[in-house]
């Protein structure tokens, strides 16, 4: 008899299970139950629909050859029965039956299953915010205000786009400086809005290290965006059901559009009601076969807890790419095969105007929290041969375990080709690579695409110098703190006079590398000396010369002036 | 006492040894002997100097901050003594002494060494070509003709650029359809020349598989370049020392510029005269420490034989990126450290107009020659979400060992972002990855940069289907051969009628996937059926439907119509 497979959720992981299972088992009876109207749409594309770069939302639901993935498509091309606008409300695990309600008619339907797949996705995390409406006294629900939106589905995107088109929105406040918040910022700026980002943490991009966060924030500000960090939203002030002002603990911001991008949490309501095990991160607990605590029930996508491949601890990583991988694995196992989902690296990438910002694995902060002894390197470099026209800058940060020399994570940002680096680094991490491996990895080279010594090799070599004790680094952040504390040290710029004249760090001392040996007497042996250049290769060479001359307290500033995020003199 | 280190060769590997060694050993006496005038220049950038994209050749010799790497630079910034226009002529191994001749004065110099490094580079391979000059009877040396150039040094590039600037060259013949030949072709076309490429082998790009070569050739032809394959150069016809016509075994080509790009061979003259061991590939034999058969002599760069990391056999891979890695390793070992050069993957990349063409590891042909049982997959796909504006096509080819499932190599070509894929694939290969690993690798995803299922995962999944026997592939090349032989088979296009109307393969039969089950009776069970679609995912689904209906002789055409390099009907 044909297997009956019921899938709850029709956006990403669910349809993937259906499509793959159909290819493996031509006989299976496959049913998708989806609460919303739309199926199998590219949720990650919504910011680009809001900005109008994608003209119609239909494009997010089409196959590459322009066929709409509606219920008829699933029926006709995949042999999959779809019930949309139908909410699964109960699982009868003993009777192997899902109960669902047709949202338009209230009709209750029963779906018997041999295998059930939960692909119930995520819920928007809406921070606790008070709201007052001056036209309607008494406290109201911030979420219900007409111009407050999360970006969770096509309907949200539609509303925001409509407001922009109707010129109802000119000033937007984006709550949350994470990935979605940044993507929405770009989208809204491109739509002509004035945007303010409000982030509760001390820096934007909490899944990046602070040194990268500040560089991105400065870039974002250079694009005309107001970015407030370390500010807590206190309340929304509305008039007649529409937000007018956002009040934080530090300021007040006019707004005619508020986009809440404070994160997601797994949607496990149905699973919890059915008594399925929930993991420590709040996601549905699954084994490596994507099977829940009930062997007849699988779960995939933004509702599950998975394993962090680097540290093997439970993790929540709501990503469309992982949902697809998990869906594939679940389908193979349901069809009687054996396939495992190994876990993930928390790889992520996003576009912010001309910048690409990407990460994989662990940040310094995360690794330290997990008890690793950490070393890192910051390497700014052009994305192709420096003499090749159009070369753009990229900053590569590598994070390593000091004891084992193993790579723990990487962050790459800049206006240049970031993808090549982050793809290679995620791959190295996936294979448990060591920093020393990266010195000799044979990446293809030609001047339009890379330097003869690839950025990854450069960063790895800097990190090896640090791991081997040949170089002691200090972050620009720490240097700035020392300056603010009024500490007595020499900030030694070893660039050329021409470079120095062009731009310099306030209070720095210039001795070009070429004259350092002869002018060594000008430097005090009893003070800390922090060397740097454009990217800190010459800074490193200077530190070696100083050590040769008996200087003991010498550090090199990570990433040189290129990674200096504070004010510069010109 | 300070170590005396003499380096013969000052272009790529040599200066790298000097710079790295200086950082490790501030006391060492380091000397570079270079035959040419120029030092430490980016030879790989020469095609872009010829085209004028790089304005002055000085740019190829400058540091990223614009400092010229001339002998004074090495002296002042690196503490390295340089003798340029000085040819090393003899090594006295017993006496540890190099003898060299100043080319401008004839003066003979002696350089005692503790360690010697040979970085003597490569020589241009000049194919045996007869030359006749109608104004000067008798045979002459083809190489001596004024408008015949290899592209080996700045002087060659200067001459070609001068000919273009003076309008002396309008029609160019490029001999050799390899990487340098293709880069020079782009350069010359951009300079306004009519270009004919003549390749002796049946297809261009011999380090790629033929199926990729033909796609690149068709693209190159679409850019107005004449590409002749399987033609042997017979002779150059000249007038007054200048080539006028190139005669092959099949045709005659007018030419006022001939660029010879038929490959390189290691320059081992000095090493051979000194009795150092030479490897089977013709390169100087070195161990993993980059030490030659004489423990006091190291060798790096285009003059050495290295190990192919995939099959552990000796290989010759003249690449600037490898020269730098080897230089680093040699320097560390000379300084008393211990570092190994592991070998390389023969990774390569080049730009051809809007295409990027890249490879790593082994091709199907190479792997078969080495006795591997090989399977491969061809996956065409957009480089970002298909709905994202500006998405460009990329074709990914993966090559695997059928027995172990190990990845053996990859080739990626197209107008889209090729670098991210080839970087990840080279890294996977470096770590000895298996095809199944690539299904679950967590590469970062966002619509501007990738599809939710990354191209690498798509290609890996196709390859796994083949390895597991779920899909039998057939190459477009083989299909075309069958057609030419008049074989009786059905070439079944399962795309939509709209796609079919737009463009189709002559002689193909259309049954859209959605109607295949109901129209199954139209297909003959006794004939071979070859299915395809745009990229062959629907083609694969069609093959599964056919098998379900009892069809036994079913194949899927690799890569669908996107990888079909022959004529199409519109």
Q: How do residues B555-565 score in pLDDT, each as one tens digit? A: 999 999 999 99
Q: Is A464 an interface residue toward B (CB < 8 Å)?
A: no
Strand B171-175 relative to strand B194-199: parallel, antiparallel, unpaired?
parallel
Find the mean pLDDT for residues B46-69: 91
Please indicate whether residue A457 is annotated as part of the active site: no
Matching residue, tokens 């060798």:
B299
Backbone φ and ψ for A34, nearest 5 degrees, come out as -130, 130
- Does any CB of chain A come closer than 8 Å to the CB of residue B207? no
| Residue A70 in contact with partner chain B when CB distance is under 8 A | no
For residue B67, what pLDDT is reported? Answer: 87
> What pLDDT is stored for residue B64 in this prediction?
87
- pLDDT exceeds cutoff 90 at A283: yes
Q: Is the pLDDT of residue B370 over 90?
A: yes
**Which residues of chain A from 434 to 463 reach within 8 Å of chain B, CB to CB?**
437, 439-450, 452-454, 457, 461
Nearest-CA distance B444 → chain A (Å): 4
| Strand ranges for A63-156 from DSSP E | 80-83, 86-92, 97-102, 108-112, 115-118, 122-124, 130-133, 136-141, 148-150
CA B388 to chain centre: 30
> By the CB < 8 Å criterion, does A310 face chain B?
no
Q: Which CATH architecture has domain B473-563?
A: 3-Layer(aba) Sandwich (3.40)
Quote the CA–CA distance of A161 and B365 in Å, as a whole number. Answer: 53
Whether the CB of A217 is below 8 Å from some CB of chain B: the reply is: no
**Fold observed for domain A130-262:** FAD/NAD(P)-binding domain (3.50.50)
Every domain of chain B and the residues it spans: 4-121+265-334, 130-262, 354-467, 473-563
Lowest mean pLDDT among A34-38, A106-110, B414-418: A34-38
Determine contact: A519 vs chain B, CB below 8 A.
Answer: no
- The whole-angstrom separation of Cα A252 and Cα A249 is 9
Q: How far is A426 from chain B (nearest CA, A)?
A: 6
pLDDT at A332 over 90: yes
A99 in B contact zone (CB under 8 Å)? no
C-beta atoms of B388 and A54 within 8 A? yes
User: Does the structure show a pLDDT above 90 at B97?
Assistant: yes
Token readout for B208 is: 């790629």
pLDDT in tens, B146-188: 999 998 889 999 999 999 999 999 999 999 999 999 999 999 9
d(CA A416, CA A394): 6
Q: Which residues of A136-148 are buried (b: 16+ CB within 10 A; e: fewer)?
A: eeeebebeebebb
What pLDDT sits at residue A153? 87
Of B64, B420, B423, the CB nearest to A386: B64
User: In chain A, which residue's Cα lies nearest the Cα of B47?
Assistant: A447
* Best residue of A67, A387, A544, A561 to probe chain B, by most B CBs closer than 10 Å: A387
Sheet of strand A171-175, all strands in order from the earlier edge strand to the far edge: A148-150, A257-260, A171-175, A194-199, A226-229
Candidates A45, A340, A444; nearest CB to B388: A45
CA distance A385 to A371: 39
Q: Catalytic residue among B44, B220, B303, B533, which?
A: B44
Q: What's the gap in Å between the CA of B172 and the closest CA on chain A?
A: 23
Q: State the pLDDT confidence band at A64, using cuts at 50, 70 and 90.
A: confident
What average pLDDT does this structure show over B251-263? 96
Domain B4-121+265-334 architecture: 3-Layer(bba) Sandwich (3.50)
Three-state DSSP class for residue A230: coil
Could you tell me if A186 and A351 are in contact, meaning their C-beta atoms sit under 8 angstroms apart?
Answer: yes
User: Do A473-563 and A4-121+265-334 fall under one CATH topology?
Assistant: no
Residue B78 Cα, gap to closest chain A Cα (Å): 8
- Residue in A44, A321, A350 closest to B454 by CB: A321
According to the model, what pLDDT value does residue A42 have? Answer: 87
Q: Is B405 on the interface with A (CB under 8 A)?
A: no
* A447/B45 touch (CB, cutoff 8 Å), yes or no: yes
Residue B469, chain A, CB below 8 Å: the answer is no
Model's pTM, two decimal places? 0.97
Q: Which of A323, A322, A438 is nearest to A379 (CA)?
A: A438
Distance from CA of B299 to the nearest CA of A (A): 17
CA distance B520 to B515: 8
Give just the sign of the alpha carbon dihedral B234, B237, B243, B247.
Answer: negative
Q: What digits encode the pLDDT tens for the residues A230-248? A: 999 999 999 999 999 999 9
pLDDT for residue B567:
92
CB < 8 Å from B in window 145-184 of A: 183
| CB contact (8 A) between residue B388 and residue A48 | yes
Q: With residue B366 as reference, give the H or E element that holds it.
A: helix B364-369
Band of pLDDT at residue B486, cut at 50, 70 and 90: very high
**B61/B41 Cα distance (integer angstroms):** 4
Q: Shortest CB distance from B419 goes to which of A325, A389, A449?
A: A449
What does DSSP say about strands B136-139 and B130-133: parallel, antiparallel, or unpaired? antiparallel
Can you read off the two tokens belonging to residue A392? 């753009």
* B544 neighbourhood in chain A, CB within 8 Å: 23, 26
| Inter-chain CB proximity B452 and A351 less than 8 Å | no
Residue A355's pLDDT band (boundaries 50, 70, 90)? very high
Nearest to B300 by CA among B279, B281, B323: B323
Is pLDDT at A209 greater than 90 in this prediction?
yes
- List the one residue out of B237, B266, B232 whose CA is nearest residue B249: B232
Give the Cα separation of B180 and A293 in Å (integer).
59
CB nearest B424 (choices: A45, A424, A433):
A424
So what's the pLDDT on residue B323?
A: 97
Task: Sort out which chain B residues have CB atoms less than 8 A from A426's CB and list them.
Answer: 424, 441-444
pLDDT, residue A40, reads 87
B300 vs A: CB within 8 A: no
- The percentage of chain B sitting over the pLDDT mark of 90, rounded to a whole number, equals 95
Q: Is the pLDDT of residue A292 over 90?
A: yes
Question: Which range, of A117-121, A197-201, A232-236, B39-43, averages the lowest pLDDT?
Answer: B39-43
Query: What's the CA gap between A266 and A460, in Å, rounded?
Result: 37
pLDDT for the residue numbered B80: 96
What are φ and ψ of residue A8, in 5° steps? Answer: -100, 110
Q: B354-467 architecture in CATH?
A: 2-Layer Sandwich (3.30)
Q: Do A445 and B44 touch (CB under 8 A)?
A: yes
pLDDT at B51 over 90: yes
Short-list A70, A442, A341, A380, CA closest to A212? A380
Q: Is the CB of B457 less than 8 angstroms away from the CB of A325?
A: yes
Percent with pLDDT over 70 in chain B: 100
CA distance A478 to chain B (A): 26
Selected for mutation to probe chain A from B427, B496, B562 (highest A CB count within 10 Å) is: B427
Say how far apart CA A283 and CA A313 lie, in whole Å: 13
Judging contacts by C-beta atoms under 8 Å, the chain A residues touching residue B359 are 444
Contacts of B500 in chain A (CB under 8 A): none
Q: What are phi and psi of A259, to 5 degrees?
A: -110, 120
**Is it the case that residue A296 has pLDDT exceeding 90?**
yes
Hey, are the CB atoms on A452 and B42 less than 8 Å from each other? Answer: yes
In A377-512, where does DSSP find H-type helix? Answer: 419-430, 435-439, 455-467, 476-484, 497-502
CB-CB under 8 Å, A350 with B446: yes
Q: Do B322 and A387 touch (CB under 8 A)?
A: no
CA angle B559/B560/B565 to nearest 5° reads 85
Q: What is the mean pLDDT of residues A469-478?
A: 95
Task: Please report, for residues A188, A193, B322, B413, the alpha-carbon distance to residue B276 in angstroms, rounded to integers and kept in the order given.
Answer: 67, 71, 21, 40
Q: Do A514 and B76 touch (CB under 8 A)?
A: yes
Instruction: Determine the pLDDT at residue B536.
Output: 86
- Per-residue pLDDT band at B65 (split at 50, 70, 90): confident
Best of B310, B380, B447, B502 to mutate (most A CBs within 10 Å, chain A)? B447
Contacting residues of B for A532, CB less than 8 Å apart: none
Give chain B positions within 8 Å (CB) of A389: 48, 53-54
Residue of A nearest to B321 (CA): A452
Q: In this complex, do A446 and B348 lie within 8 Å of one another by their Cβ atoms?
A: yes
Which chain B positions have a beta carbon within 8 Å of A65's beta carbon? 495-496, 499, 534
CB-CB under 8 Å, B431 with A426: no
Instruction: For residue B110, give how far its alpha carbon lies from the nearest alpha carbon of chain A (Å).
Output: 28
Q: Mean pLDDT score of chain B, rounded to an integer?
A: 96
In degrees rounded to 5, what are phi and psi of residue A147? -105, 25
pLDDT of residue A138: 81
B187 CB within 8 Å of a chain A CB:
no
Question: DSSP state, B365?
Answer: H
Q: Rounded CA gap, B251 and B232, in Å?
A: 10
Go through B280-292 and write b for each residue having 16 or more CB atoms within 10 A of its CB, e for each that does not: ebebbbbeebbbb
B218 in contact with chain A, both atoms CB, cutoff 8 A:
no
pLDDT for the residue B43: 87
């Amino acid at each position: 008899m044909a297997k009956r497979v019921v899938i709850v959720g029709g956006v990403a992981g669910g349809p993937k299970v259906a499509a793959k299972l159909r290819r493996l088992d031509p006989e299976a009876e496959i049913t998708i139950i989806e609460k919303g109207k739309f199926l199998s749409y590219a949720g990650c594309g919504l910011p680009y629909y809001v900005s109008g770069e994608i003209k119609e939302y239909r494009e997010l639901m089409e196959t590459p050859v322009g066929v709409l993935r509606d219920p008829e498509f699933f029926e006709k091309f995949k042999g999959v029965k779809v019930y949309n606008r139908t909410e699964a409300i109960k699982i009868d695990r003993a009777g192997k039956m899902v109960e669902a309600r047709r949202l338009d008619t209230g009709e209750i339907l029963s779906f018997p299953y041999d295998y059930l797949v939960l692909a119930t996705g995520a819920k928007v995390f809406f921070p606790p915010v008070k709201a007052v409406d001056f036209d309607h006294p008494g406290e109201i629900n911030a979420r219900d205000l007409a111009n407050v939106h999360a970006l969770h589905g096509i309907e949200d995107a539609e509303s925001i786009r409509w407001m922009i088109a109707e010129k109802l929105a000119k000033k937007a406040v984006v709550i949350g400086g994470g990935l979605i918040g940044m993507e929405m910022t770009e989208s809204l700026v491109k739509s002509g809005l004035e945007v303010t980002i409000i982030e509760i943490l001390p820096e934007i991009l909490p899944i990046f290290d602070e040194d990268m966060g500040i560089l991105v924030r400065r870039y974002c500000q250079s694009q005309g965006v107001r970015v407030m960090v370390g500010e807590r939203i206190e309340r929304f002030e509305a008039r007649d059901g529409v937000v007018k002002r956002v009040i934080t603990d530090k300021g007040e911001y006019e707004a005619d559009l508020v986009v809440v991008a404070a994160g997601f949490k797994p949607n496990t309501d149905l699973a919890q009601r059915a008594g399925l095990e929930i993991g420590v991160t709040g996601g549905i607990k699954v084994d490596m076969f994507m099977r829940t605590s009930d062997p007849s029930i699988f779960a995939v996508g933004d509702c599950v807890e998975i394993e962090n491949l680097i540290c093997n601890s439970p993790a929540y990583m709501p990503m469309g790419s992982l949902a697809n991988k998990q869906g594939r694995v679940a389908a193979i196992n349901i069809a009687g095969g054996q396939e495992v989902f190994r876990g993930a690296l928390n790889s992520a990438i996003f576009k912010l105007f001309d910048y690409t910002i990407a990460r994989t694995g662990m940040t310094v902060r995360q690794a330290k929290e997990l008890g690793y002894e950490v070393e890192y390197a910051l390497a700014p470099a052009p994305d192709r041969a420096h003499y090749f026209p159009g070369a753009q800058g990229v900053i590569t940060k590598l994070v390593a375990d000091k004891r084992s020399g193993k790579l723990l994570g990487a962050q790459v940002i800049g206006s240049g080709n970031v993808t090549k680096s982050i793809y290679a680094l995620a791959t190295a991490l996936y294979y448990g690579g060591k920093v020393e491996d990266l010195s000799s990895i044979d990446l293809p080279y030609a001047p339009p695409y890379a330097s003869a010594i690839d950025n990854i090799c450069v960063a790895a070599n800097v990190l090896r110098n640090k791991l081997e004790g040949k170089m002691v680094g200090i972050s620009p952040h720490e240097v700035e703190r020392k300056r603010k504390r009024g500490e007595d040290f020499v900030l030694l710029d070893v660039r050329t006079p021409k470079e120095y004249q062009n731009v310099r760090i306030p209070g720095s001392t210039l001795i070009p590398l070429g004259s350092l040996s002869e002018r060594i007497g000008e430097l005090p042996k009893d003070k800390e000396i922090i060397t740097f250049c454009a990217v800190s290769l010459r800074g490193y060479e200077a530190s070696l010369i100083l050590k040769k001359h008996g200087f003991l307290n010498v550090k090199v500033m990570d990433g040189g002036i290129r990674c200096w995020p504070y004010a510069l003199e010109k």
